[in-house]
Structure formats: C-alpha cells, structure tokens
Structure 1
Amino acid sequence: MADVGGRLREARERLGLTLEEVERTTRIRIHHLQAIERGELEGLPSPVQARGFLRNYAEFLGLEPGEVMLQYAEGLHKRKTRPRPPLEAALRPAPTAVRARMPGWLSVDMLVAALVTLAVIAVLIWGGGRVMAAMRQSSQALQPASGFLIPTQTSSPSPGLSPQPLLNELSGVSPTPTSAVSSPGALTILGPASQVELHLVVEKRTWLRVIVDGAEAFSGRAAPGQPLPDYRGQVVEVWTGNGGGLHAVYNGQDQGLLGDLGEVVIRLWTLQGVLTPTPTQTPTPTETPKVTPTPLVSPTPRPIRLPTTTPEGGP
C-alpha cells in the first residue's frame, strides 16, 4: 500500500499542489488524503470508499486509474498472503520489568477504558463534523434544486416496470396544472462535479438495468461478485428488482444499499444530486350512465257505437 501512496504523493508534488488544493477540488478530506499517501488505506471508512477515493485522486493527478487500482489490488493480495507470527509469540506475556515501572494506579483495565473513551470521543467529534458539513451543503444547494420535479407513475391494468427510460419521461413533463406531477421521494444534494461517476457492487442476485444519458448500458441479471464497469455521464439511471442486494458509490461517496431485500428501486443520479421517484396512482374516472329515453305509448282507438234507427211502419 505504501507504493501506491508514494506514487500519488510524488505525482502531487511534481504538479506543485498542496493537500488543501486537492481537497477543494476532489472533495476528499485532508486526513483521508494523508492516509492514502501513507498507504494506510485500512483507516478509511470502507473498502468501497477507499477504491472510490483512489480512483478520483488518480484521475485528478493525471494518472491512469486502472494501473493505480491494479497496484492497490496487488497490495491487498500480498497483505492477505503474508505469513502471520506464531501463536506462541503472540501469546507470550510482556516482560515483568515493564510492569514493575508502571505505577500502581495505572492498571491495564484503566488504560483500556481510557483508550475506549478517547476513541468514542473522537468518533463523536468526527461524525458531528460530517453531519454539520452535510447540513451546510444541503442548505446551500436546496434553493436552486427546489424546482426539480419528477413525474409520477399513473396506475395501469398490468403491474410492472415500464420499459421507457425515466430520462425520456423527464423531458416530456408539461407544467400545466392538470398534469400529474409529484415531488421526488428523496433528494440528496452533493458537491458539484463535471459528470456523474457511479460504481455498483452486486451483493445479492438481482435484476439490473442501467441507462446512461438515455442509452441502455446494462440490462439483465447480475450475480454477487460480478464485476461491473464504472458508469459515467450527465444522467445515470438504475432500475433494480432487489434494492437490498445492490451497493452504490456516487462520485466517491458511499451511498450504501439502495433499499431492502426484494424491493423494486428506481434511482436517478444527476449533477444536481440523487433522485428517488415516488410512484403515485391517479384515480380512474367513473363513466356516468347514459339516460335512455322511454318511448311514448300511443292511444288505442276505441269503437264508436252509432244510434240504431227504426224504419217507419214497422211493428
């Protein structure tokens, strides 16, 4: 790992850049950049986020991301195959001379408790800083993004996903009052970028469809561990039939699982943020029965009885 970090540090120094300048452009924290250059990638939040940071940092410095990721993978393989120390050496007790120099009140339990307390305080401070930074970014970007709406899906006789890409639906939305439009179910505002870069990790078997800038990039079943390319474009749309089996990293930021196991999820990544459409149903109008006119009854003619005349001279 030190070879990868040293290569990135030499490239940065060759360009005359400081860590502060790199942080402003890549949105990667300085302590993460320092850990990467020291080769301490295990200190990053997760392996998926470590790969995203490495790729973004290499692209920013003008290096080939594929070579850097290959070197990172070789380092992981060497670390896993490195022989472990014998169990006897690991279980060997510490020298008694060190114990003799320790004060009576400084016991092992107190040291462990102090270290745990310091670790908890550090995690709380670090997490609070991240939450405050995310709240500031959201408050700054919510004003221009408040008018970005997603059209709802109307009810149809047969359930299922529509094969028409969501990008085409967005381009055909009319702002008239009668159009059925609902606000997005979830909107996550992230930092500005020149394009969307999405990395997907399949953890459970799922049906997957990826559309990049209106063109279908992938469609079919994806198995756990199946390698998928990084999708780049202005708009990346993902359809999955198992939200709990698909992990996403958006522009170097870990998005976690897209949903629960067996949940159908539609997610749209744009330069403005992450959109989750919320399908709604439009009530079906009921036809008013037509009134059938009743035919008029014609009167039946009745016979007229004429008076009978008796001839004169009769009996």
Structure 2
Amino acid sequence: METGLSPSIGTLLKQARVVRALTINDIQDELRVRQRYLVALEADDLGALPPGVYARALIRQYAAFLGLDPFELLARYGRARPIERDSVRPSLPVLDRPPLVSLKAVVTVLVVASCIGLFVYLQAQYNSYTRSVDNGGGVTQSALPTTKGRSALLTPFPTAVIVPPTAAALATPVSGLVVEARAIDRSWIEAWVDGSSAMAETLPGGSLRTFTGRHGIRLRVGNAGGVEVLVNGVSQGTLGQRGQAVEAAWTFS
C-alpha cells in the first residue's frame, strides 16, 4: 500500500470507477472477475487477491478498463508486495559446512582424465600405424572405413524440435494460463477460455484484454499484425501479418 501523499492502488481504481459512474457489479460483468477480488483490490486488501501472475493480470485488466496506466499501478503493486519477487525461488537447505570436494574440482579431474585417455589412445594408434609401415605390411584393409561404416557415420539424427518455454517452465507455481492480447492496431478479436466463449469485439489500437484459464485459451483475430500476445508474462510477438486472419490456441497440462 502506498504511503504519504501518494494515493494507493485501490484509491486510484475506485476514484476512476466512480468518475465513470460504474458500480462493482458493472465491472464484474464487463471483466468477468469475481466481485470479492474487485472489492479487496479497491480496499487495498492485497492479501485477499489471488497469488502471483493472477493478481498482476487483474490489476492490469482493471486499470486498462478504467483508462489508467496499468504499468504505473503494477509498479505500485510491486513496491507494496516485494516478497512476491522471491516467492518463486525454491528454498535451499542451509549447509553446516562446505562439501569436502567441490563440483568444479570433480569436473576438472574428469576433463583432465578424458584428455589423457584420448592422448594415450591416439598415441597407441599412431605407434601401431608406424610399426606396420616400417614392417612393409602397409595399411591393412580392415583399418579403412567400410561403406557400411561410412553410412552409419553419415546417418543424420532426427532434428530436435525446439518448443518455446511454457508457463510451467518459466513460472512453476502458476497453475493455468494467463493470455494478454494487446491491440497495437485496430483489430477484431474473439476469445474462448476453457472451451467457453469469453468475448467477441473490435478493439482499437492501445487496448488490452487479459484472459485466464485452467486448461486452454483460443484467440481468433482479424488483423494478426495488429495484435501482440503475452502468455504467462512471456511475449509471443504479433500473431501474423497486418490484415491477416489468424486463429491461435494455448493449452496447459
């Protein structure tokens, strides 16, 4: 909560809502957010808000709907609840004493041993080759790689498919999806959350819509180059080219 002369997050939101002659029920119907979260947010009862990314998504969505700067309110929220920045860090056991052998020392020994082994092997191969040449035997046929051997060496491995990190990888405590659609240009957007229709409207440039779901979120846009998407806080860029109709979906398992 802000102190001094600076108004709190809840005060700013409530004042903006009252100026627009809106009730809590109006906000609940428009944003599809539980009333108790809206009441807690306006009362600066931050402890009653959902944890982590859900609370930030709620503040961002509410501020944008009322015409406030969501980034300013998120900065205030971060100062009010700084402990959340460290909440995703796993707790580490406190060691009474340092380990007798460090990991760095073990890796160094293994690397040195591998280099020595490789040198000994190459030296033995070289000595064997020079002895065979000195004895006039030449290089035996078995020493040459066969066609079968070359084929095995040149057989390509399957190409690994690099999958972008999901929310589960970037933020393990999050159980679900939070998709933010920012209209950088005018575009028609239709959204489904967990299989149910969530919205269908034309957004002007500068608009922001946030969707939260447990299993999957699907978007259909009429101007893919005018819509930028973030999934659990990770930017996915625009969905395509300007004027292009695109449908995209994200699932959580």
Kindly indicate which of the two structures has a greater share of residues assigned to helix: 2
TM range (shorter): 0.3 to 0.5
Specify the structure having the higher radius of gyration (Cα).
1
* TM-score for the superposition, normalised by structure 1: 0.32
